[in-house]
Chain A
C-alpha cells in the first residue's frame, strides 16, 4: 500500500478479482476516447494479460487507485519501463468511473505514482503522451510540473480523425526540486 501524497487516494497492487471492473472501465468509450496507444475494447483474456504482466514485476508496474475515504476502487495508474539501464518509463493513468472525474483523484494518483517511480523504482525520466484535445489532462500535467517537449502530428487515428499526440516528460531532479526529497 502506498499512501497518497495529497491524502485523497492510496495505491495498491492489482487485484485479479477486479479485472472485469477494470476491463469495463477501459472499454468504456468515455474513458477509452483518451487513450493514445491502447486498442480497445479488450477481451477478458486480453485484459488478464495485463495482470499476468504485472505479476512478473519486470516491465509493467501498474497499481490500483483507491479512495482514502471509503476504499472504493477508482482506476489504475503506473509505468511501463523500457530497457532497465535507461531508467525511463512511460506513465499512464485511467480514472474509471466518469462521475469520479474532477475531484483531484487523478492529480493525487499521478503525484503519488511519480514519487514511487523516482524513489522506489529508481527512475530517471518519466514521460507520457496525451491526445491534443485532452483538455483535462494537458493542463493537469503542466500544472504538476511535466515539461511539454513537443508533439507528433496526426500520430493517431481516433474516432475517424487523426490527432496530434503531445509529449511531456519529467526528470528525477525536477521532481525532487519541486516536491522535495523524503528524509
Chain B
C-alpha cells in the first residue's frame, strides 16, 4: 500500500478486472486513453491485468479512495528501463462522479513518489494528447515540464492527435514535494 493524501495505491487484482474493464470501455473515460476504443473483452482484460504481475517493467496500481475504501481508478508506471532509470506514468479515474476533485493529481504525485523513491527512477515522463485540455493544464501544474511533442501520435475518433510530452527529474520532484520521511 502506497499512501497518498485522499487516496492510496495498491496492486491491481485480476479479480477486479471487470471493474477496470467497465471504466476503460466507458466512452467518457477512454476519451483520451488509447485503450477501450476497441471494447475490451473480459478474458482480454484479465489477461492484461495478470500480465502486469509478470512483467518487471510495469507497475500498475489500483487507486483507492481512503474514505469508504473503494477503487476509483488506475495509475501505473510503464516502460521502466534500467539502467536508465526512466519510466512513463499514466492515470485514469474511472469513477466519473469524482472527477474534478484533485484525486488524479493526488494519484500522480503518489505514483511519482513511488517511482522516484522506491524504484529509484531518475526521470518520469507523462504525455497528453492535444485536445485533452484538462490533462494539458494539470501536468504542468503538478510540476512536469513540456519536453516535446510527438506529432500525430494516435488515431482516435477519425483524427490523428499530437502527443504533448512532459517529464520530471528526481531532483525536481524532491524540491517540490520533499521526502516522504
Contacts and interface: CB of A to CB of B under 8 A. Distances in A.
Interface of chain A: mostly helix, strand, loop or mixed: mixed
Interface in B1-35: 25-27
A167 B179 CA distance: 66
Given A1-B26, A3-B27, A13-B25, A119 B39 contact: no
Interface in B131-181: 155-159
Interface string B32-44: 0000011111111
B156 A12 contact: no
B95 to A, nearest CB: 16
Nearest to A52: B43
Chain A contact patch, size range: 20 to 34
A11 interface: yes
A120 B27 contact: no
Contacts of A51: 41, 43
Contacts of B43: 16, 51, 55
A85 interface: no
Interface residues of B, number: 17
A63 interface: yes
A182 B37 CA distance: 15
A14 B38 CA distance: 11
A54 interface: yes
A118 B155 CA distance: 10
A84 B156 CA distance: 17
A13 B39 contact: yes
A129 B47 CA distance: 35
B39 A12 contact: yes
Nearest to A181: B158
Contacts of B44: 13, 55-57
A176 interface: yes
A61 B41 CA distance: 11
A38 interface: no
Q: Which 3 A-B pairs have the closest CB atoms?
A: A119-B158, A13-B39, A13-B41
